[in-house]
Amino acid sequence: MAGKRVLKSKSNIAHLFWLLVCLAAIAMFCMQMAEVLQRYFSYPKKVTVEVIPAQVPFPAVSLCNMRNMDVHVLNTLNRKFIEDHNLINHINNSDNDFVREYMKLSAKYGPLWYKYQGKYPLAFQEVFSRTTYSANIPQHIVSSAAVQLDEFVVSCYFGEYHCNTTNDFTLFFDPYYFNCFTYNMADPGQATSSGGIENGWSSVLYSGSGILDRNKDIRVLPGLHESRSAMSANEGVRVVIHPPGTIPFPLTEGFDVPPGFSASFGIRPRQIKRIGPPHGNCITSNPFGDSSSQYRVLSCQKTCLQRYIINSCGCQDKTLPDVPDLKATPCRNATDFPDSCMTDASDECLKQFFHLYDRIQCVRSTKDRFMKNSSLLTDCGCFPQCDEISYDVSYSLSKWPASGYEGDAAFFDIFYIEGFRERFLNTPKYNMVMSYFREDNREKTMQDFARLNVYIADSNVIVTQEMEDYPTTQLLSDIVGQLGLWIGICIIVLAVILHVECSSAILG
Q: How far apart, in whole angstroms, are the C-alpha atoms of residue 448 and residue 442?
A: 10
In this prediction, residue 386 carries a pLDDT of: 92
Beta bridge partners of 453: 202, 264
DSSP labels, 420-442: TGGGGTTSTTHHHHHHHS-GGGH
Q: Is the dihedral of CA 492, 494, 497, 500 positive or negative?
A: negative
pLDDT digits (tens, 9 = 90+) for 388-418: 999 999 999 999 998 888 889 999 999 999 9
* Cβ-count burial 201-223 (b if 16+ within 10 Å, e if not): bbbbbbbbebbeeeeeeeeeebb
What is the pTM (predicted TM-score) of this model?
Answer: 0.85
In this prediction, residue 1 carries a pLDDT of: 47
Percent of the chain whose pLDDT exceeds 70: 90
User: Is omega for the bond preceding 278 within 30 degrees of 0, making it cis?
Assistant: yes
Mark residue 259 as left, alpha or beta (left: phi above 0; alpha: psi -120 to 50; beta: remaining): beta
Answer whether residue 146 shows pLDDT above 80: yes
Diameter of the chain by CA atoms? 129
CA 82 to chain centre: 40
Q: How far apart, in whole angstroms, are the C-alpha atoms of residue 214 and residue 195?
A: 45
Let me know if domain 12-44+471-507 sits in CATH 1.20.120.
no
Closest C-alpha among 212, 174, 184, 224 to residue 64: 174
Q: Which three-class secondary structure string do you get for 16-52? A: HHHHHHHHHHHHHHHHHHHHHHHHHHCCCEEEEEEEE
Q: What is the mean pLDDT of residues 345-361?
A: 93
Please state the domain extents for the chain.
Answer: 12-44+471-507, 55-68+146-282+389-463
| Residues in CB range of 215: below 8 A, 6 or more apart | 78, 82
| Residues in CB range of 277: below 8 A, 6 or more apart | none
Let me know if domain 55-68+146-282+389-463 sits in CATH 2.60.470.10.
yes
pLDDT digits (tens, 9 = 90+) for 77-113: 999 988 888 888 888 888 889 999 999 999 988 899 8
Q: What is the mean pLDDT of residues 346-353?
A: 92
Beta bridge partners of 69: 146
Q: How far apart, in whole angstroms, are the C-alpha atoms of residue 229 and residue 175?
A: 13
Q: How far apart, in whole angstroms, are the C-alpha atoms of residue 141 and residue 162?
A: 31
Answer whether residue 64 shows pLDDT above 90: yes
Beta bridge partners of 283: 385
Residue pair 39/114 in contact by the 8 Å Cβ criterion: no
Answer whether residue 177 shows pLDDT above 80: yes
